[in-house]
Amino acid sequence: MDIRDLLGEIAATYEQHLGTEGGVHAQDLLRKVPSLVRQAVPGGFEAKGYGGQGSAAHTPWIGVFHPDITRDPKAGLYLAYIFAADLKSVTLTLQQGVTRLTDKYGEGQKLRDFLSARGATLFSELPLQLVADWAGSPSFNSTVDRPRAYEAGSVVARRYEIDSLPAEGVLREDLWHAAEILKLAAGVEPGISVEPAPKGFKAGYQPTKHVEYKGLEGFQPKDGSDYITHIAKRTIVKSRSHEVLVEQFGHYVDGRGFVPITKKQHPKDLILRRDGVEWLVEAKTIKRHNPTSAVREAVGQLLEYSHFWYEQSSKPRLLALFSEDIEAYMPYLEELEIASIWRTPGGWAGSPSAAAWGLVD
């Protein structure tokens, strides 16, 4: 189901007084969200609908989560399509988890002040060119505490009027852009501290400390086993070959004296360290023996992460890791100062830069 159709149908059929029981059309739609929009959300993300528990929500919403950041809207950062109480608009927002904060700050103004202070600082630490068109606080037209907390907890937002929803392509482009903002925000959030102030709260940012690891202490690759999914009455096996590639390469470079690290590195695939030098690694599996899109994606992500995640004085060396030979693209990557390594039947091979750094023979 398209995002546009789903948003429109929920807005047209949601009625709070009908409750959350089965057979209530909008509630049934919200429960089916994970399967309805699986193909529309960015790779690696999951969606879930929320219409309330027991009593129906004043402002129904659809969460879009990255499992490496959080699957639980009670805490952490996630994306959400939140409908206004009058159902005339829906807002795509980067949200801060609210529920677990209520034990400490309650449901009212104190909680909202905390969320606003932390959200404003988080926004200020994101790249301006990435969030310039996403500033502003949403309005959900409700006096209920939870929707007001959602307003205060928003870091970035884009509002859509239900009567003039954009085309599906625009909605998906916005969602994918918001997903990139979320990934960067997840790296900033641990460095934010919030303290009481004479009026509300004051937030500050201090980059997290550099953690030194030895051997494989910081190497925790994801599960690389295949998994089963059910789609429209058929069962297929999906591959986590990307995770397998990272895991195999990590053990390989550990044997060559490098320290591979995945722990607390999201959204980066992997970093390597040796003798005070850091390598930023982007891993790509090549599909149908066509390296073009894999190379293009690796270049874009390496340059983006190097620019946004590192100070100018401490830029990492860049390394693109592939599941098979990238053929004619190796000289192109070398020209961009990106080394490359790929899996071979007998082990690993790589570019001249990779060989000079001791990553391959």
- Using one digit for the tens of pLDDT, what is the confidence trace for 246-272? 889 999 999 999 999 988 777 788 999
Q: What is the pLDDT of residues 86-132, one digit of tens each?
A: 999 999 999 999 999 998 999 999 999 999 999 999 999 888 888 88
Structure tokens at 89: 């608009």
Q: What SS3 state is found at 90?
A: strand
The pLDDT assigned to 165 comes to 96
Q: What SS3 state is found at 22?
A: coil
- CA-wise closest residue to 160 among 174, 149, 148: 174
The pLDDT assigned to 50 comes to 95
Q: What is the pLDDT of residues 175-196, one digit of tens each?
A: 988 998 998 898 888 889 999 9
Structure tokens at 131: 């969030």
For residue 230, what pLDDT band results from cuts at 50, 70 and 90? very low
Q: Is the pLDDT of residue 229 over 50?
A: no
Q: Which residues contact 304 (CB under 8 A, 6 or more apart)?
A: none
**How many Å apart are CA 9 and CA 343, to the nearest integer?**
47
Domain residues of the chain, as ranges?
A: 3-205, 227-356
Q: Tell me the mean pLDDT in the region 41-68.
A: 91
**How many Å apart are CA 361 and CA 357, to the nearest integer?**
10
Q: Is the pLDDT of residue 141 over 60?
A: yes
Q: Which of 4-13, 95-104, 309-318 has the lowest mean pLDDT?
A: 309-318
Q: What is the pLDDT of residues 319-360, one digit of tens each?
A: 999 988 887 899 999 999 999 999 888 889 999 999 999 999
Structure tokens at 305: 């992460």
Q: Is the pLDDT of residue 75 over 80?
A: yes
The pLDDT assigned to 82 comes to 97
Structure tokens at 255: 């044997």
The pLDDT assigned to 208 comes to 60
Q: Is the pLDDT of residue 234 over 80?
A: no
Distance of CA 262 to the CA centre of its chain: 16
Pick the CATH number of 227-356 from 3.30.870, 3.40.50, 3.40.1350, 1.10.150: 3.40.1350
**How many Å apart are CA 34 and CA 59, to the nearest integer?**
19
